[in-house]
């Protein structure tokens, strides 16, 4: 057990140590300064020349958001086309059929929005061509979209005047080629060395020791696993995701993949400090995020390592902790670490069955997605936190009787209204979606036979539905897989939740940054609110918890909290 705890401490420490220099490098990419990967420039120029895009044109926030929505719509249509016709194309050695419309819609939206919610099993639901030119491609550009959006926000905060936030197309492509691609190649090589497949051959027929004949799925796995982790995408090549030995063969790959999940989200916080030359401000934000992350991680590790009380009642000892739904090669502590890491970010990959987690661990996983501010996805993690920063500054200004200001720019009614709208939209999507699902289930005669959604009724069944809409709205993609989710209701419902949960939290904060950018700059004085102080960090954390956790507490009380007390009883 001590070894497991030490491994958790080592992984978390390694993430922070590696993220700091990466943050410095990301800042240089955003500023257009020289880096050792500038040799990608000719390739980028060719792409821009073919597409007819001027990467040097200055754009305000509206033009940038229009560009983002336009190109994402094109990617959505591309995904729908391939998913609906994949049976007609090459690189389909296992003759996988096309997806039906509702499932294709959900899958296309899922990968376009960096969610990767999978209502299908990868090895039986998608051809090799689909896995590469739809899923793997979208995992790069959707992550690049989030990073580019953060760069636009950084530029808006740095501007002393003017409406120019940069060029979305240029920032998105550079994020893909100069940040994501080099790291993905490195992680892919590590995975290949440790046994992750990279082949275009079909399933291999294998005779087991018992004499049974089994068809073992394989394919171009390594590159997809690398970018799914680095881009906080999370979509697995196989249905069991990173619990599958081909996606995550051993403890070395498990460590590398966990580090990959948090590396860029943490680095983006440090990049803010380097970009604005306000390192202390970045440290305060990092501190708030890190405390929130640890507040979810520590209880989850504790509950998973101490086992399930119901199993203890049967007289069965649990020396390895609660191991239902977990891989022995990883153990309970590492599985808990992965579970919190993947849900505090918008990653959503799994190395264990979240549905099998102890009740309060499941609650911590849901809280990570519901608060959606403790590191979050690549780029969008800081964007989500920026909404809370605006609200915290506004509240602090009211408390001391001063006009709120951020980096020398006044925060007025318009910016606060946008921030409140964005902050409330997230719980509205989750709670209204869950309420609708619960109503349909409760009002249907014999729902177990007709709807066939829930294998686990009562408290845990509610948690499964609650988790699904939470995962969709947070663009996470993991699930309590006791839920039968490949139905028109869940495909369309979570598809809408993913769209709203992706673009509203990006457009709102970037709009605020664009509005602040155009305002008159006033040098900070002794009377200005110190946003790089510990007191502001306390206020910010309090705002996140009050506006976030309290809104979701009634739902959590109906699900995981009630399940926990039912076990104690």
Q: What does each of the 569 residues of the chain score in pLDDT, given as a tens digit?
A: 578 899 999 999 999 999 999 999 999 999 999 999 999 999 999 999 998 999 999 999 999 999 999 999 999 999 999 999 999 998 898 889 999 999 999 999 999 999 999 999 888 899 999 999 999 999 999 999 999 999 999 999 999 888 899 999 999 999 999 999 999 999 999 999 999 999 888 888 888 778 788 888 888 999 999 999 999 999 999 989 999 999 999 999 999 999 999 999 999 999 999 999 999 999 999 999 999 999 999 999 999 999 888 888 888 888 889 998 999 999 999 999 999 999 999 999 999 999 999 999 999 999 999 999 999 999 999 999 999 999 999 988 877 777 788 888 889 899 999 999 999 999 999 999 999 999 999 998 888 888 889 888 789 999 999 999 999 999 999 999 888 889 999 999 999 999 999 999 999 999 999 999 999 888 877 667 788 889 999 999 999 998 877 889 999 999 999 999 988 76
Enumerate residues 6+ apart whose C-beta is below 8 A from 559: 363, 366, 459, 460, 462, 463, 466
Residue 335: name the closest of 263, 266, 248, 264 by CA.
248
Q: What is the pLDDT of residue 1?
A: 54
**What radius of gyration do the chain's Cα atoms show?**
23
User: Phi and psi dihedrals of 403, rounded to 5?
Assistant: -65, 125
Secondary structure (3-state) at 205: strand
Tell me how crowded residue 252 is: count the other CB atoms within 10 A of its CB.
13
Rounded distance between C-alpha atoms, residue 556 and residue 364, angstroms? 10
Q: Which two three-digit tokens encode residue 543?
A: 């705002």
- Residues 331 and 4 sit within 8 Å (Cβ to Cβ): yes
Element (H, E) at 23: helix 2-31
Residue range 135-152, pLDDT digits in tens:
999 999 999 999 999 999
Residue range 341-381, pLDDT digits in tens:
999 999 999 999 999 999 999 999 999 999 999 999 999 99
Residue 231: name the closest of 119, 113, 125 by CA.
113
Residue 201: name the closest of 222, 223, 224, 217 by CA.
217
* Distances, alpha carbon 557 to alpha carbons 89, 97, 311, 462, 551, in Å: 48, 42, 23, 10, 11
Rounded distance between C-alpha atoms, residue 490 and residue 472, angstroms? 10
Eight-class DSSP state of 89: S
Eight-class DSSP state of 96: P
- Residues 347 and 234 sit within 8 Å (Cβ to Cβ): yes
Q: How far is Cα of residue 515 from the mean position of the Cα atoms in its chain?
A: 27
Query: Phi/psi class of residue 129: alpha, beta or left (left: φ > 0; alpha: ψ in -120 to 50)?
Result: alpha
- Strands 213-216 and 405-406 turn out to be unpaired
- Residues 271 and 178 sit within 8 Å (Cβ to Cβ): no
What are the start-end ranges of the H helices in 474-561?
488-517, 534-544, 550-556
Rounded distance between C-alpha atoms, residue 273 and residue 323, angstroms? 41
- Residues 239 and 221 sit within 8 Å (Cβ to Cβ): no
Element (H, E) at 329: none
493, 497, 499, 505 alpha-carbon torsion, rounded to 10°: 170
Q: What is the pLDDT of residue 221?
A: 92
Q: What is the DSSP string of 431-447?
A: HHHHHHHHHHHHHSSSH
* Strand partners for 91: none
Q: Determine the angle formed by the axes of helices 488-517 and 380-400, rounding to 10 degrees.
A: 60
- Residues 89 and 82 sit within 8 Å (Cβ to Cβ): yes
Q: What is the pLDDT of residue 527?
A: 65
What are the start-end ranges of the H helices in 345-412?
359-371, 380-400
Residue 529: name the closest of 350, 435, 403 by CA.
403
* Distances, alpha carbon 85 to alpha carbons 139, 170, 200, 221, in Å: 20, 32, 19, 22
Q: Which two three-digit tokens encode residue 555?
A: 């739902």
Round to the nearest angstrom and report the end-to-end CA distance of the chain.
Answer: 28
């Amino acid at each position: 057990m001590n070894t497991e705890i030490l491994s958790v401490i080592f992984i978390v420490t390694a993430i922070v140590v590696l993220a700091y220099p990466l943050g410095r490098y990301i800042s240089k990419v955003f500023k257009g300064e020289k880096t050792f990967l500038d040799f990608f420039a000719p390739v980028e120029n060719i792409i821009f020349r073919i597409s007819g895009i001027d990467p040097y044109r200055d754009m305000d926030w509206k033009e940038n958001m229009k560009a983002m929505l336009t190109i994402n719509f094109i990617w959505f249509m591309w995904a729908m086309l391939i998913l609906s016709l994949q049976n007609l194309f090459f690189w389909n050695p296992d003759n996988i059929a096309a997806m039906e419309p509702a499932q294709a819609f959900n899958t296309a939206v899922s990968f376009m929005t960096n969610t990767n919610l999978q209502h299908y099993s990868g090895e039986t639901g998608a051809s090799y061509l689909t896995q590469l030119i739809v899923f793997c491609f979208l995992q790069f550009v959707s992550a690049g979209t989030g990073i580019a959006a953060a760069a636009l926000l950084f530029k808006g905060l740095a501007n002393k005047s003017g409406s120019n936030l940069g060029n979305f197309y240029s920032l998105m492509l550079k994020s893909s080629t100069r940040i994501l691609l080099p790291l993905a190649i490195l992680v892919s090589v590590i995975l290949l060395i440790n046994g992750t497949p990279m082949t275009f051959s079909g399933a291999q027929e294998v005779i087991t020791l018992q004499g049974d004949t089994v068809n073992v799925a394989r394919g171009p796995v390594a590159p997809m696993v690398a970018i799914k982790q680095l881009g906080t995408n999370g979509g697995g090549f196989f249905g069991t995701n990173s619990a599958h030995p081909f996606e995550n063969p051993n403890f070395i790959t498990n460590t590398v993949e966990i580090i990959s999940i948090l590396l860029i989200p943490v680095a983006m916080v440090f990049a803010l400090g380097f970009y604005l030359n306000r390192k202390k401000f970045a440290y305060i934000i990092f501190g708030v995020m890190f405390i929130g992350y640890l507040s979810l991680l520590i209880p989850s590790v504790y509950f998973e390592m101490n086992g399930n009380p119901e199993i203890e009642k049967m007289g069965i000892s649990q020396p390895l902790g609660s191991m239902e739904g977990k891989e022995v090669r990883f153990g309970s502590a590492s599985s808990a670490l992965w579970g919190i890491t993947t849900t505090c970010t918008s990653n959503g990959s799994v190395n264990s069955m979240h549905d099998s987690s102890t009740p309060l661990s499941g609650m911590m996983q849901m809280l990570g997605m519901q608060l959606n501010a403790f590191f979050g996805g690549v780029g969008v993690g800081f964007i989500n936190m920026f909404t809370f920063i605006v609200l915290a500054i506004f509240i602090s200004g009211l408390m001391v009787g001063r006009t709120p200001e951020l980096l020398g720019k006044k925060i007025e009614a318009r910016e606060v209204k946008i921030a409140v709208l964005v902050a409330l939209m997230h719980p509205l999507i989750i709670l209204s979606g869950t309420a609708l699902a619960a109503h349909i289930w409760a009002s249907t005669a014999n729902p177990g036979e007709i709807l066939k959604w829930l294998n686990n009724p009562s408290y845990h069944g509610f948690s499964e539905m609650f988790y699904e809409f939470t995962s969709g709205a947070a663009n996470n993609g993991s699930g309590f897989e006791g839920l039968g989710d490949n139905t028109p209701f869940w495909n369309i419902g979570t598809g809408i939740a993913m769209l709203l949960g992706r673009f509203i939290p990006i457009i709102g904060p970037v709009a605020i940054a664009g509005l602040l950018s155009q305002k008159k700059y006033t040098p900070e004085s002794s009377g200005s609110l110190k946003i790089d102080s510990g007191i502001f960090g306390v206020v910010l954390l309090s705002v996140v918890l009050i506006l976030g956790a309290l809104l979701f507490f009634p739902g959590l009380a109906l699900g995981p909290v009630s399940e926990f007390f039912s076990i104690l009883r």
